[in-house]
Chains A and B, each alone.
Chain A
Amino acid sequence: MKNEEINFGKSEQFNLTMIPGSFARKMRTCKIWQLFRFMVINIKMLIVVSKSH
């Protein structure tokens, strides 16, 4: 059974939000995609840091 089918059914609190599907969850641990995101997040953080000093 899909993860979202289990969790959406558990409570009204859970039912009224969004739950990632299997693709979104796989991308969170996909090394190639995450390496790309690692660079993007770092650049964004460096911009925020530079704007804050």
Chain B
Amino acid sequence: MARLIIMGGGVSGHTTATFAKKWLGDEHEVVVVTPNSQWNWIPSNIWVGVGQMQKKDVVFPLAPIYSKAGIDYRQALATEIHPNGKEGSDKPYIVIESTKEGEDGKTEELEYDYLVNATGPKLNFDATPGLGNGKGELSGNTVSVCTADHAVHANLELKQVFEKAKKGERQKILVGTGHGMCTCQGAAFEYIFNIEHEAKKAGVRDMLDIKWISNESFLGDFGMGGLHMKVGGYAVSSKLFAESLYAERNVDWIIGAHTSKVEAGKIEYELLDGTMHEETFDFAMLIPPFSGVGFKAFDKDGSDMTDVLFAPNGFMKVDAKYDAGAYENWKASDWPRTYQNPTFDNIFAAGIAFAPPHLISKPMSSPNGTPINPTPPRTGMPAGIIGKAVAHSVCDMIKNGKDAHLHEASMAEMGAACVASAGKGILDGSAAAMTVYPVVPDFEKYPGTGRDTDYTFGEIGLAGHWIKHILHHMFIYKAKLKPGWTLIPE
């Protein structure tokens, strides 16, 4: 009997674990180690953050689902990887620290045959002074929608702002990225337009100054270097598409900005031209930068070998080309295909946890040397598809031996569908529905835009909003492993 351990129970980890268990059956063991007791459909946190959904609508307990599936679930934080075992044993293992109530801090060694790192990111609030509290958590200066609890808090703060606006006090709202190296602009993009929509419904839009701040060098970059999409028969840049939406909704923007300091009611930021500025706010939602979760890896003799498994940003090294060099040399083929660690063939990384070879957007920095550019997005659909491909590979290796063919899921050959809602009502909501194919542009195949414009499109309307609703229910249904769950694509 082989044991597969999956570290992380988010979109990627949950996909890997559930498919692996389905394919391996009871002959082999599948273990999930995640510090969380609940699964969270993160895209709908946006609606929690504006009070259109409750926390209970976007989370569910993991234990009964894994129990039903026959997956060994450990509510714990994985802290160390020992890929060569320890003195006296060649069996690789990880060290986990319980986060279960009543067993807090209890450590355990878990041996594995195969290991998948699907932890997602560490929300690195402390990368920006004042954004974090110095203990790795969100400070009280701004809010976040990265977790369901953060989103609940964000809604409470937002409602206070709306109340003040109703009383005639003009309010300033700032939404965007809290550091020059953030990703996930899409979440902030969705949140700002939901706030705008709710403000209109509450009759306070005229009392709000809503502003966007982002590390993108142009609006609509989204960490993918922008995209050209089919709109109204034209192939247009996402810059024009995004700017149009901001202008229509009367939302000002600051771009090419590295938020360098956050205080109560004020941020300091540096622009790509090197100038320093300040912006005040009554309510701010700033996305933190992501980093790896901070694993340590140790060799058999106890020596630190973290740098063998992980890139300096804490994400796990996989089969990517990390020495691609300057932007001019970047190719679609730099991106990983199998997500297998180059040193240990029984270790894989999936979703946000893998180290990308480089940015997708053009690298930028200010004259002061501050890098200001979005890092590559790898959430949602790519995370699910990668998780499934990794599950396939591991299952084949377990069943057919280590030389089994590995399944591939390159982000340069995979598309993504993104639906960013801008209000929730069934008849008065709207959403920007976009697809991009491929996620990582391939300029050898598509020399002009890097992408297939037949399958890269975007439009705003009620239809996209209906799709967003369907996706919410469909993916929670799938994650709960209800009948027919395998038929729902990632």
**Residue in B250, B417, B427 whose CB lies within 8 Å of A48:** B417
Contact across chains for B459 and A41 when beta carbons are under 8 A apart: yes
Assembly CA distance A34 to B459 (angstroms) = 11
Contact across chains for B243 and A13 when beta carbons are under 8 A apart: yes
From 1 to 50 in chain A, residues with beta carbon under 8 angstroms from any chain B beta carbon are 3, 7-8, 10-11, 13-14, 16-20, 27-29, 31, 34-35, 37-38, 41-42, 44-45, 47-50
Contact across chains for B489 and A41 when beta carbons are under 8 A apart: no
Task: Of the listed stretches B50-58, B308-316, B430-438, name the one at the interface; the rest are far from the partner chain.
Answer: B430-438
B324 within 8 A of A: no
Of the A-B pairs whose beta carbons lie under 8 Å apart in the complex, a sample of 15, sorted by A's number, is A7-B250, A13-B246, A16-B243, A17-B240, A18-B240, A18-B243, A28-B461, A29-B430, A38-B466, A41-B467, A51-B415, A51-B455, A52-B381, A52-B414, A53-B388
Do A29 and B428 form a contact, CB below 8 Å, given A41-B459, A41-B464, A44-B455?
Answer: yes
**Residue in B381, B427, B461, B490 whose CB lies within 8 Å of A27:** B461
From 448 to 490 in chain B, residues with beta carbon under 8 angstroms from any chain A beta carbon are 455, 457, 459-464, 466-467, 489-490
- The closest CB in chain A to the CB of B411 belongs to A52
- The closest CB in chain A to the CB of B239 belongs to A17
Assembly CA distance A20 to B244 (angstroms) = 8
Contact partners of B23 in chain A: CB under 8 A: none
Contact across chains for B415 and A37 when beta carbons are under 8 A apart: no
Contact across chains for A38 and B467 when beta carbons are under 8 A apart: yes
Assembly CA distance A19 to B250 (angstroms) = 11
With contacts defined as CB atoms under 8 Å apart, how many contacts are there between chain A and chain B in the complex?
96
Contacts A13-B247, A35-B463, A44-B435 aside, 11 further interface pairs with beta carbons under 8 A come to: A17-B243, A18-B240, A20-B244, A28-B462, A29-B428, A38-B463, A44-B455, A48-B417, A49-B415, A51-B414, A52-B409
Assembly CA distance A44 to B253 (angstroms) = 31
- The closest CB in chain A to the CB of B428 belongs to A29
Assembly CA distance A37 to B381 (angstroms) = 22
Contact partners of B467 in chain A: CB under 8 A: 38, 41-42, 45
B160 to chain A, nearest CB (A): 27
User: Chain B interface secondary structure, helix, strand, loop or mixed?
Assistant: mixed
Q: Which interface class (under 10, 10 to 19, 20 to 34, 35 or more) fits B?
A: 35 or more
- The closest CB in chain A to the CB of B425 belongs to A29
Assembly CA distance A51 to B7 (angstroms) = 28
Assembly CA distance A3 to B249 (angstroms) = 10
Do A13 and B253 form a contact, CB below 8 Å, given A28-B461, A29-B430?
Answer: yes
**Residue in A14, A44, A50, A51 whose CB lies within 8 Å of B247:** A14
A2 to chain B, nearest CB (A): 12
Contact partners of B427 in chain A: CB under 8 A: 29, 31
Contact across chains for A7 and B248 when beta carbons are under 8 A apart: yes
- The closest CB in chain B to the CB of A15 belongs to B247
Assembly CA distance A44 to B463 (angstroms) = 13
Contact across chains for B417 and A45 when beta carbons are under 8 A apart: yes
Contact partners of B435 in chain A: CB under 8 A: 44-45, 48
Assembly CA distance A29 to B431 (angstroms) = 11
Contact across chains for A20 and B248 when beta carbons are under 8 A apart: yes
Assembly CA distance A40 to B290 (angstroms) = 35
A15 to chain B, nearest CB (A): 8
B252 within 8 A of A: yes
Contact across chains for A17 and B244 when beta carbons are under 8 A apart: yes
